[in-house]
Structure 1
Amino acid sequence: MVDVAAERGRHLSSRVSEAGAGWRCQAVGTFKDLRPNDQSFSWLNPATLWRSRNEILAGLFGDPSGEVRKRWMAYQRGKGVDPELRIRPPVGDDFSFLLLGDPGEGDASQYALVPGMLKIGEDTDFAVIASDVIYPTGSGNEYCDKFFRPYQHYRAPIYAIPGNHDWYDGLGGFMRVFCDAPPLKPQPDRGLRGLLWRKPERIDEQALAKARELRGLPEQQAVQPAPYWAIETPKLLLVGVDTGIRGELDADQVAWLRRTSLDPRPKVLITGKPIYRRNDYTPSPLEGGGTIDDIVRDPAHRYVAAIGGDVHNYQRYPVDVDGRVIQYFVAGGSGAFMHATHTVQRVDVGGVREEDYRCYPLRGDSLSFYSQLYARRLRMRWLYLTPREAVCIMAERIGIKPVRPLDGPVRITRRMRWAARVLGAWPWPFRLPVDKVFHRFLSELSDWDTPPFFKSFLHVSVRGSELRIRCFAATGCLPQEQDPPMEDEVVISLPA
């Protein structure tokens, strides 16, 4: 089924037309009927920001994730989980799965993904969530409408690795839902960090049991051994790592990762923090020295791809590593507010050519999106750029041809170029916050509840000796629900 859908999706993507991007949305999708209420998740709330304070505290006073993770792992090993943390789903030589990144806001942008995900993923064997299952703080009391309800009709197991937001609850919600682990006993943390640190919420077990009924079918059940794991299949090993709040892997996890990476099968890394993002190289550090990419690049470990969440869009970097190509993905666009792509300059990191780089949303659509956002919220109409204008401006800025065909000439004026500068298309000191500061503190301003949403998910399949990774889009518009656009596809030959 997915091959037919992919063939249709290839011709319906944002690379082909504005309609494929969702700009000409005349009918909102059926996702609106799946939502339990009309409430919108908002970061522009002092209570929400205060609940998320552990990110800032971890930066100021140190990240305790590694020590807390060791306590979780001691408990899990004490109850007898597989010491090598292997998951063995009943799949054959050929199989497929879905990958969702950073989904859990529980609002329109998360639910907009669901109809296309169910259609494309109908025959998949399982799904994986990469990073930030639940916003804002990973609470076990918020899993009903942000996990069980949206994915209640996905008839296969779902595994996950946590993101930084899941750790704001001390990983309590994540471990209860995915590992069936009770809360850890409180342990005092002295000093200012201990005084200000947000403590895990007490989980309403009765409400959680009721929520679990939404995914109560036998074929949906799975208990994973830990927040990091390896999924075994005959031809491929999926290696999921837990990057905590700040991105560092603790010594015990590093030792496990090195052992696991010696498995002779080809491998895909799934991580909470992408190794390449925004034309930058940001591999997670390892306790004891080195980075996670040292392990990925080692030819003896046979990694063919690395997929990371955390950044809320899709990007792909094919990196030549000593004569072999490793595909590095950003795949965090499955529900949370959109991070800009138009601020990504002409790509050259890791020797990747701009012509080989892929992103979704396209830079032009990202620029038009933000121009509409600021024009509306700041009441500054001169900032508005149509999708056609933005596509042409970004093509000129990057030095490429417009990514999709244009129905007629486009005249770029001085006003349009100034608007693009103010919106961050050029490095410029006088611009609205859309780059690094925006990325961490103010991106939440871009959260809106009307199409197009520019959400995405991955369909990953192994057929014969090929690993195929496809990026499908969700705009929130009915046509893209019925025929999800395929925004990117790469085929990787698996070594024997």
Structure 2
Amino acid sequence: MRLRPAMVGWYNPPRLLAIAVRVAISTVFGEFADRREALATSRPIDPSAIEPNLDYSLESVDSDFWLDFMADTGDGWNSTYAVARLLAEPDLKVRGTNEPLMRGRILVMGGDEVYPTASRDGYRDRIVAPFSEASVGKFDPQNPPHLYAVPGNHDWYDGLLAFLGLFCRRRNASAWADARPGRGLGGWTTQQTRSYFALKLPHGWWLWGADIQLTGYIDQPQIDFFSHVAREWMEPGSRLILCTGQPSWAYVDVNEPEPQFTNFSYLESLAGLARKKHRLCAVLTGDSHHYSRFLEGDRHYITSGGGGAFLHPTHQLEDKTFKWPYPPPGVEPVAGQKYHRRFHLVRDEHTRQATVFPDHKTSRRLAWRNLIFAALNWQYTATVAILYAFFTWLVSAQGAYLGTSLQAALAPEPLPPFVGSVQTYLSFALISPWPTALILTSIAGYYYLADFPSYWRLVIGLLHGTIQAAVVLIATCLLARWLPTMPVALFIVAAGLAGGVLSATTLGVYLLLSLNKFGKHWDEAFSALRIQDYKSFLRLRIGPDGRLKIYPIGLKSVPREPEKGQLRKPPLHPHLIEGPIEIH
């Protein structure tokens, strides 16, 4: 039996290096050889009418039509498997509502289906395996529910190759090839032929799934496809659910909204073509691994990225208001006019607390785990310890060249505490080019890390680097005073260990303060924690009257399964995060 994968260690230096290489390669590939354009050529779509496989409009006309949305899965086994178990249940009993919530006829995955990078093995071990385990005995193989997926940036890290093999295997018959069915993923079967799709739902509802690649870029064939769907296939006044790869409304810098908001704004304009009177009702996404909901007018912008990846915080979220040269969806543009885009974080009308999961208080409390960053990310700590030991060896060699030892040189002097020792240490370090080069490299790294705008990035980066150097320097001086007779080799090891632990702890404090005080480094701070709990997904219901209800379902705690052996399948306790959200 294969080991069940643990949560990805994002501060494991070899893994970070491998991810960086894959990101660089995929970025270049995406710019010079976009696979989506090749797919549009090799898998043409009939322009006259929507494909029957993608038309659900005649299903459940006189009853409820259910569909599910989840995003950001395929990280650790425990979290992915727990969400898969909930999705696989034929009907789900959820605390907060008395009505049973039926399993969706369709499951839509909203991006980042595997972590840390896409590969056939990664998909097999981190998503296919847990979904298959969760599906045993839950589905009718003669009438399986359908599965659609939009790729996220992690799915693009192999140029979309593994994603296409898993989710886009189905092929229509042509003069050149026979029809081919989709692939099974647990109890679901894939239906799409490209990385984007349009689904016709009952009662005038449509669902679009858009592929925004790595940087939000939408290729021209995809633009042509959705434009054609909006003009030719959708009846005037159709209502639309849009699934996209990231919450641009939450990420946008209100002082400089371009280019971050540009691609999403253009996608919105396609969805809400004013001349056809289509109505964009809801935008669903992941990428942020939590639940939140923003409102602009009567449009709901929902992030539900709790499908199995590590938890992201919520207490950095805030309302976003900025000027934009193009109108909101469904509004005819006026030449030369600018429009205010106002995205309001939904709050409880009684408590005025944001309806997010986890709540702000819990999110802020969880951030304090960064104080034990060194223990939670021991691979990073060990790597930094080795680097500090190497640096101490270089400085010690410089002292030996000058006829003394580092320990003797850092002995107590008549000056104020540490002043003489600091001066001596710095003179040893800066007299040789190699230690100096390491110092400059570390300063550049802290500058690059700083998630602050322009001038403040330099200030924060230098301040962080200075504190890191001061902490390690003081620790080395203390060791020299406390252990003056220790053999040089052991002293170098001790200095490296002390430096690694203190440097990693200092980084954790930096991340904690940046997030809790300034709302920065929310990704870096929580990826360090690898929290498996606080999962979420959406269950949607279109009633016979055409009304849409969205049920945001949360799971506070994920059971811990052993790496090997029989699955225990302890009971799960899902609850309704808010709502249900009703859209007419």
Q: Which TM-score band (shorter chain)?
A: 0.5 to 0.7
| Unaligned ranges ≥5, structure 2 | 93-100, 140-144, 172-182, 322-340, 349-353, 377-508, 560-568
Alignment partner, residue 247 of structure 2 = 274
Which sits farther off after the overlay, 162-171 or 117-126? Answer: 117-126
Structure 1 residue 64 displacement after superposition: 2.2
Structure 1 residue 174 displacement after superposition: 0.9
Alignment partner, residue 37 of structure 2 = 70
Q: In 2 relative to 1, CA 81–48 (structure 1 residues): closer, same or farther, beyond 3 Å?
A: farther
Q: Match of 1:111, SS?
A: helix
Measured against aligned partners, the alpha-carbon deviations of 1:357-411 in whole angstroms (never above 9, x if no partner) come to 532111111111111x22333589xxxxxxxxxxxxxxxxxxxxxxxxxxxxxxx
Indicate whether 1:307 and 2:289 are aligned: no
Structure 1 residue 38 displacement after superposition: 6.1
Alignment partner, residue 125 of structure 1 = 105
Alignment partner, residue 377 of structure 1 = 373
Q: Match of 2:293, SS?
A: strand
Alignment partner, residue 407 of structure 1 = none
Give matches, 1:390-405, under 5 Å: none
Structure 1 residue 158 displacement after superposition: 1.7
Alignment partner, residue 548 of structure 2 = 467
Structure 1 residue 458 displacement after superposition: 0.6
Measured against aligned partners, the alpha-carbon deviations of 1:307-351 in whole angstroms (never above 9, x if no partner) come to 11211111111211xxxx111111212111111111224666715
Q: Match of 1:158, SS?
A: strand
C-alpha distance in structure 1 between counterparts of 2:375 and 2:122, whole Å: 35
Q: In 2 relative to 1, CA 70–346 (structure 1 residues): closer, same or farther, beyond 3 Å?
A: closer
Q: In 2 relative to 1, CA 315–465 (structure 1 residues): closer, same or farther, beyond 3 Å?
A: same
Alpha carbons 2:147, 2:191 under 8 Å: kept: no
Alpha carbons 1:163, 1:245 under 8 Å: kept: yes
C-alpha distance in structure 2 between counterparts of 1:346 and 1:290, whole Å: 18
Indicate whether 1:491 and 2:581 are aligned: yes
Alpha carbons 1:132, 1:163 under 8 Å: kept: yes
Give matches, 1:187-336, under 5 Å: 215=186, 220-235=188-203, 236-262=205-231, 263-264=234-235, 265-277=238-250, 285-286=262-263, 291-299=266-274, 300-320=277-297, 325-336=298-309
Q: In 2 relative to 1, CA 247–481 (structure 1 residues): closer, same or farther, beyond 3 Å?
A: farther
Which sits farther off after the overlay, 121-130 or 460-469? Answer: 121-130
Alignment partner, residue 443 of structure 2 = none
Q: In 2 relative to 1, CA 472–168 (structure 1 residues): closer, same or farther, beyond 3 Å?
A: same
Q: Match of 2:294, SS?
A: strand
Alpha carbons 1:275, 1:328 under 8 Å: kept: no
Measured against aligned partners, the alpha-carbon deviations of 1:276-297 in whole angstroms (never above 9, x if no partner) come to 22686777544xx962233345
Structure 1 residue 71 displacement after superposition: 1.0
Q: In 2 relative to 1, CA 336–65 (structure 1 residues): closer, same or farther, beyond 3 Å?
A: farther
C-alpha distance in structure 2 between counterparts of 1:438 and 1:328, whole Å: 20
Structure 1 residue 113 displacement after superposition: 2.1
State, as a whole percentage, how many aligned pairs show the same letter.
22
Measured against aligned partners, the alpha-carbon deviations of 1:423-445 in whole angstroms (never above 9, x if no partner) come to 62332xxxxxxx55452x56421
C-alpha distance in structure 1 between counterparts of 2:32 and 2:127, whole Å: 23
C-alpha distance in structure 1 between counterparts of 2:6 and 2:512, whole Å: 34
Q: Match of 1:257, SS?
A: helix
Structure 1 residue 164 displacement after superposition: 0.8
| Amino acid corresponding to residue 444 of structure 1 in structure 2 | S
Q: In 2 relative to 1, CA 142–61 (structure 1 residues): closer, same or farther, beyond 3 Å?
A: closer
Alignment partner, residue 158 of structure 1 = 147
Structure 1 residue 36 displacement after superposition: 5.2
Alignment partner, residue 401 of structure 1 = none
Q: Which has the larger radius of gyration?
A: 2
Measured against aligned partners, the alpha-carbon deviations of 1:421-469 in whole angstroms (never above 9, x if no partner) come to 8262332xxxxxxx55452x564212145xxx11111111111221011
TM-score by length of 2: 0.57
C-alpha distance in structure 2 between counterparts of 1:110 and 1:134, whole Å: 10
| Amino acid corresponding to residue 266 of structure 2 in structure 1 | T
C-alpha distance in structure 1 between counterparts of 2:118 and 2:309, whole Å: 14
TM-score by length of 1: 0.66
Alpha carbons 2:511, 2:521 under 8 Å: kept: no
Q: In 2 relative to 1, CA 55–273 (structure 1 residues): closer, same or farther, beyond 3 Å?
A: farther
Structure with greater proportional helix content:
2
Alignment partner, residue 506 of structure 2 = none
Alignment partner, residue 366 of structure 1 = 363
Structure 1 residue 108 displacement after superposition: 2.3
Alignment partner, residue 177 of structure 1 = 166
Structure 1 residue 472 displacement after superposition: 0.8
C-alpha distance in structure 1 between counterparts of 2:169 and 2:345, whole Å: 45
Alpha carbons 1:103, 1:333 under 8 Å: kept: yes
Name which structure has the greater RCO, CA cutoff 8 Å, separation 6+. 1
C-alpha distance in structure 2 between counterparts of 1:55 and 1:301, whole Å: 40
| Unaligned ranges ≥5, structure 1 | 1-33, 183-211, 381-417, 428-434
Q: Match of 1:460, SS?
A: strand
Aligned length: 374
| Amino acid corresponding to residue 336 of structure 1 in structure 2 | A
C-alpha distance in structure 2 between counterparts of 1:249 and 1:276, whole Å: 17
Structure 1 residue 75 displacement after superposition: 1.9
Q: In 2 relative to 1, CA 178–354 (structure 1 residues): closer, same or farther, beyond 3 Å?
A: closer
C-alpha distance in structure 2 between counterparts of 1:151 and 1:347, whole Å: 37
Q: Match of 2:70, SS?
A: strand
Q: Match of 2:215, SS?
A: coil
Q: Match of 1:471, SS?
A: strand
Q: In 2 relative to 1, CA 146–70 (structure 1 residues): closer, same or farther, beyond 3 Å?
A: same
C-alpha distance in structure 2 between counterparts of 1:448 and 1:374, whole Å: 12
Indicate whether 1:42 and 2:9 are aligned: yes
Alpha carbons 1:141, 1:173 under 8 Å: kept: no
Q: In 2 relative to 1, CA 117–108 (structure 1 residues): closer, same or farther, beyond 3 Å?
A: same
Indicate whether 1:424 and 2:515 are aligned: yes
Which sits farther off after the overlay, 44-53 or 329-338? Answer: 44-53
Q: In 2 relative to 1, CA 346–181 (structure 1 residues): closer, same or farther, beyond 3 Å?
A: closer
Indicate whether 1:91 and 2:37 are aligned: no
Alignment partner, residue 446 of structure 1 = 529
| Aligned match for 1:140, one of 116, 120, 123 | 120
Alpha carbons 1:100, 1:458 under 8 Å: kept: yes
C-alpha distance in structure 2 between counterparts of 1:379 and 1:134, whole Å: 26
Q: In 2 relative to 1, CA 177–170 (structure 1 residues): closer, same or farther, beyond 3 Å?
A: same
C-alpha distance in structure 2 between counterparts of 1:39 and 1:365, whole Å: 24
Alpha carbons 1:96, 1:460 under 8 Å: kept: yes
Q: Match of 2:342, SS?
A: helix
Alpha carbons 2:550, 2:580 under 8 Å: kept: yes
